[in-house]
Amino acid sequence: MSLFSGFSSIGKIPELRRRVIFTLALLAVYRFGVFVTTPGVDRTVMNRVVSGQSGLLGLFNLFSGGALGNLSIFALGIMPYISASIIMQLMGLVSRQVEELRKEGDSGRRKLEQWTRYGTLLLALFQSFGVAAMLEGMYNTDMGGGRIGDVVANPGWGFRLMTMMTLTTGTLLIMWLGEQITDRGIGNGASLIIFIGIVANVPQAIGQFWSGSGGEVQPLSVAMLGATLIIAIAIVCFFERAQRRIPIQYARRQIDRRIYGGQQAHLPLRVNMASMIPPIFASSLLMFPATLQSMNIPGMDALSSMLNRGDWMFHTLFGALIIFFAYFYTAVTFQPVDVADNLKKQQANIPGIRPGRQTAEYIDGVISRITVGGSVYLAAICIAPTLVFQALRVPFQFGGTSLIIVVGTALETFNQLEAHLISRSYDGLTGPAATRLSGRRPA
């Protein structure tokens, strides 16, 4: 009952209530736009084409909340913005200007955000041209059951330019919605947009599973499906909250007649510091050959068909990319040298480790070891449920990648709401005894 009472406390805080209502309103706008079809496209034919695909095309349709199947103005989804954000973070390794902007505070952050928007525009234009070329290639479409029609009635440069302008505008609108949710809503705007797109397809997937079985669902299949989901959710919750806490000792210092410091604390290091970025970026990279294939780039046909099969080769490549991006993204976003310098400035040190370079090397070694578990966990949780669903012939792309995005976003949103409640002297969503945030203690 403490959980329900915690959620009921949200309505007692006017600011938090406004943020929740604002977030729900913008998510409703996003869902409405999913059903607005791009001009010049036969929506019925495109739905049949996408519904017959179980590879990357179906996965991209899942991330876009069904927008690709409807060929809506939001068909590209939030992926160009996420890709541009990751590219800007990677640019800090090769560009001193980007690195200096990161250290300038709010002014530098706003400048980097502006550059990220420009990058989103360029990526959206490039991807929308690829989508337009792909749609024009879907003529006399045959999915094995006979001809089902042409996706585009009047191909040509007029259609391509219209599609590029429409899809790019839709992506920029989604980017704006995500930023507004982050600034004026409950946070995690981009993640919530992907979250709501995946969750919105669950009722349809259940209906497809029921109709595909002819109303005769095997109890053993349902039990295996439910057990897989429960075990996967439990593993995701465990690893997303898992931390390695490094003890820190603050030096004593005397100011006037008072003595400060001498306290012990911990430096928390998450096991999965890369969060949901590696599977999202790996999925985006695996979708890239299909875009190049639509542009008639030589050699892309074989690669795209291989990735679309969804067999062991695809899963092996997908897992390897997840592990690589987990290490790479952690190395980019977490700098042990900066952490060691901050500890030195605060007159804090790790017991038995000298401040400065040795502290940075020690922290880097800890990060390297715990990232092994974090990266393997990400690869396993993204692939294993998908294999189970394929074995059970579940007609839905709700695999491990979708699961970790949904559960991870739910946990982050839960923490955001709990932080708002505790900062205003409430007990949090789980009550005073189970709250995870430090601060107010129960009487």
- Report the chain's C-alpha Rg in angstroms: 24
Task: Answer yes or no: is 360 within a domain.
Answer: yes
Half-sphere exposure of 347 (CA within 13 A, CB side): 9
Task: Answer yes or no: is 443 within a domain.
Answer: no
Task: Answer yes or no: is 31 within a domain.
Answer: yes
Question: Which is nearest to 16 in space by CA: 432, 431, 429?
Answer: 429
Task: Answer yes or no: is 217 within a domain.
Answer: yes
Predicted confidence band of residue 442 (pLDDT cuts 50, 70, 90):
very low
Give the number of domains in the chain: 2
Which sign, positive or negative, has the C-alpha torsion 433, 435, 441, 443?
Answer: negative
Task: Answer yes or no: is 155 within a domain.
Answer: yes
Angle formed by the axes of helices 357-391 and 312-333, nearest 10°? 150
188-239 confidence digits (pLDDT tens): 888 888 888 888 877 776 776 676 666 566 777 778 778 888 888 888 888 8
> What's the Cα-to-Cα distance from 370 to each of 93, 335, 358, 376, rounded to whole Å?
22, 15, 19, 10
Instruction: Indicate whether 372 and 254 sit together in one domain.
Output: yes
Question: Rounded distance, CA 304 to CA 290, Å?
Answer: 5
Q: What pLDDT, on the 0 to 100 scale, is given for residue 339?
A: 85
Instruction: Indicate whether 235 and 120 sit together in one domain.
Output: no
Instruction: Indicate whether 125 and 49 sit together in one domain.
Output: yes
16-45 confidence digits (pLDDT tens): 888 888 999 999 999 888 888 888 777 777
Q: What pLDDT, on the 0 to 100 scale, is given for residue 173?
A: 92
Instruction: Indicate whether 154 and 253 sit together in one domain.
Output: no
**Where are the alpha helices (H) located in 242-356, listed in sequence order?**
277-294, 300-308, 312-333, 336-345
**Phi, psi dihedral angles at 350 (to 5 degrees):** -85, 130
Question: Which is nearest to 131 in space by CA: 175, 98, 168?
Answer: 168
* Domain boundaries, position 282: 209-398
Instruction: Indicate whether 92 and 221 sit together in one domain.
Output: no
The partner residues of 254 in beta bridges, in order of sequence, read 259
Pair 79, 281: CB distance under 8 Å:
no
391-410 confidence digits (pLDDT tens): 776 655 566 777 888 888 88
Task: Answer yes or no: is 403 within a domain.
Answer: no
Task: Answer yes or no: is 3 within a domain.
Answer: yes
Instruction: Indicate whether 382 and 360 sit together in one domain.
Output: yes
- The CATH number of whichever domain residue 6 belongs to comes to 1.10.3370.10
Task: Answer yes or no: is 419 within a domain.
Answer: no
110-154 confidence digits (pLDDT tens): 888 889 999 999 999 988 888 787 777 765 554 444 444 567 777
